[in-house]
Amino acid sequence: MLVMIDAIDEKFREVDDIWGKLRARAVTFYFLPIKDMGLTDELYIKMNSRGKPLTLFEHFKAELERKLRVLDETAARRIIFKTDREWTDLLWRYRSSGRGTDNDYITDDEFLRYFKFICDVICYQQGESPQGRSSDEFDLLEQYFSRQSKDVLKNLETMERYFDCWCSISGYDSPSAFLESFMSYQHEPGKILVDASRYMIDIFGDCLHFYSEKTGKIRQFPLNRVVLLYAITSYLQHQAEITEKDFVRRIRIVNNLIQNSEDEISDRIDRNRIPAILKEVDAIILTGQIDDSIENNFNVNQLQEEKDKILYLQEHPEDAERLFALEDHPMLKGQISILGLDHLDYGDRFASLFTCGWDRIDCALMATGNYGQMERNKWRYQFASKSMQIAWDELFHKSANAGFEKTREILCTLLSTNQTFTDDILQKIADDFIAECEEKKLFPWRYYYIKYPVFRPGSYGKLSNRNAAEQPYMFAVMQTRSMWSQNTYMPYLKAADEAHLSRDDMGMRLIYGDQHIVCRNDCYLLRNNENEDEPVEILTIGQNEEGVDTEDRIIRLKEYLAEKYAKTQ
């Protein structure tokens, strides 16, 4: 004993405040109540004969068994037997997470992560949220699998079903083979699309390796994946009642809803939609129909579109593959309302159009009509982008924006002009519009948008105008998604003389010494920096009675600057 005490003293004598650290729980012990479990000291000695402490999972399993034995001896034996056999066999193929740690060679972490997924499902099914609650394995055991839970037997049945359903999938020898049968990284008949840049096809393995893990505040297994995995397990638990063909159709509906309900798939303490969403998922998977009695679940626009598709395919089953191919286009992501069921025949044309450069498409659309949409704040407008898909997503996915139907009309009009599209075809459409404006000497706002690239910088496609009805030329170009910044600018000023554009004034002025120029709907004003009330000079822009420019206002400003300041930069 003295030798041991001396050894401890030698190892820890240099540690500062060792007693304080011990009081702060620097050393903890697991307590395994062997006798409460009806086990013997000999069994514990056998379990620990390797000379190593019990792992977290071994302690968890012992605690689970103890709680179950109190409730139901038969159920306890069955669950622990499955934990050691069938469920371990299921998880064994997933034991490697690719992290290169010792845990890659056991299934402990995989089991515990899936257990947490099941506990979260139980929580949601009870109409509650796991947010703000402990995710500790032992706390979850106490909450859902002990006598304190009034639904403990139901919860136990849920856990057993959620493991069992993956152990024997009719027609498939592994979960991955089953998942690959209806999921793909590219459009294939009979499969739903998975975003290869973000997700694995094997969503079950993804859950086992990453559930409850976070990078910063970002969940590595996000809520949209939780909903999709729930839908799949719902089917597996009712595989005897649902044909595989029906499941493939129904999981497509769920996937479309998930892709278009980013804002709705939320779990906030004050706004938790997940319980209702899971109820809707059950209705779709089990019946093939959308349950209108369930409120506040998926996006309402997408729910209506899916109901319309269900009815349409009942009457036109021959159009199914054409519809599904259109849904899977990367610019649509399951929502086809920008074309509509009445224009499924434009699906191939749409695919051809988006083999072309996005800036060419943008200009051809604008030459066809002003396709922009006004956001609900009534001062920010959504247009396309040559480099950011999020701008197209905002245009093509029905939302609170005003002007979606106008965008749809203009897109369909453009698609009606050609069976197939190329950059040259689109360039000609834009060039013809510019030529017509110049010939007639009528220069509407969209003429400038098409002719001058400063209107289309390739950012989020956001333009700003607080009074577009009365001042249709006063659109400022934004470089951010929602707010003005120093990179915002009035495009006419930037096109005329970028070198003198004032970032301090958010691109709304050209500064020349102690004077500056600003743009108005029908003129430019030259003002003194110290006295802005009285303009030094007004440069009128020619307009007709309808308020349409009769001269190119950018050329007009360039000529004025060249004459007044001798040069333009």
Domain ranges within the chain, ordered by starting residue: 2-35, 36-169, 187-328, 337-488, 505-569
Other beta carbons within 10 Å of 329 = 18
Amino acid in the structure at residue 6: D
Q: Residue 32 has what pLDDT?
A: 55
Length in residues, the chain: 569
Nearest to 459 by CA among 515, 392, 386, 522: 386
Closest CA to 156 of 64, 238, 81: 64
CA-to-CA distance for 509 and 539, rounded, in angstroms? Answer: 15
Please check whether residue 552 is in contact with residue 443, taking contact to mean a CB–CB distance below 8 angstroms: yes
DSSP string, 448-511: HHHH-GGG--SSS-EEE-TTTTT-TT-PEEPSSSSS--TT-B-HHHHHHHGGGB-TTTTT--EE
Cα–Cα nearest to 335, from 376, 284, 375, 392: 392
Q: Which of these, 159, 185, 190, lies nearest to 78 by C-alpha position?
A: 159
Q: What is the pLDDT of residue 35?
A: 52
Please tell me the distance from the alpha carbon of residue 151 to that of residue 388, in angstroms, as a whole number. Answer: 49
- Pairing type for strands 218-219 and 510-512 reads unpaired
Instruction: Measure the CA–CA gap between 15 and 10, rounded to whole angstroms.
Output: 10
> Which run of H or of E encompasses 562?
helix 553-565
Given its phi and psi angles, is residue 469 left (phi above 0), alpha (psi -120 to 50 degrees) or beta? alpha
The SS3 call for residue 214 is strand
Sequence-ordered list of residues with C-beta below 8 angstroms from that of 369, at least 6 positions apart, any chain:
406, 409, 410, 413
pLDDT of res. 214: 85
pLDDT of residue 42: 45
**Which residue ranges of the chain lie beneath pLDDT 70?**
1-7, 25-26, 28-54, 97-105, 566-569
Residues near 354 by Cβ (< 8 Å), separated by ≥ 6?
329, 331, 361
In sequence order, the 6+-apart residues with CB closer than 8 A to the CB of 453 are: none
Other Cβ atoms within 10 Å of 370 Cβ, number: 17
Tokens representing 440 are 């007639």
Q: What's the CA gap between 407 and 413, in Å, rounded?
A: 10
Question: Does pTM top 0.85 for this prediction?
Answer: yes
CB atoms within 10 A of CB 451: 19
232: number of CA atoms within 13 Å, CB side?
Answer: 24
Contacts of 1 (CB under 8 A, 6+ apart): none
Q: What is the pLDDT of residues 139-154, one digit of tens each?
A: 999 999 998 899 999 9
Helix axes of 244-259 and 320-327: crossing angle, nearest 10 degrees = 30
d(CA 484, CA 551): 29
**68-109: pLDDT as tens digits:** 998 889 989 999 999 999 999 999 999 875 554 555 567 899
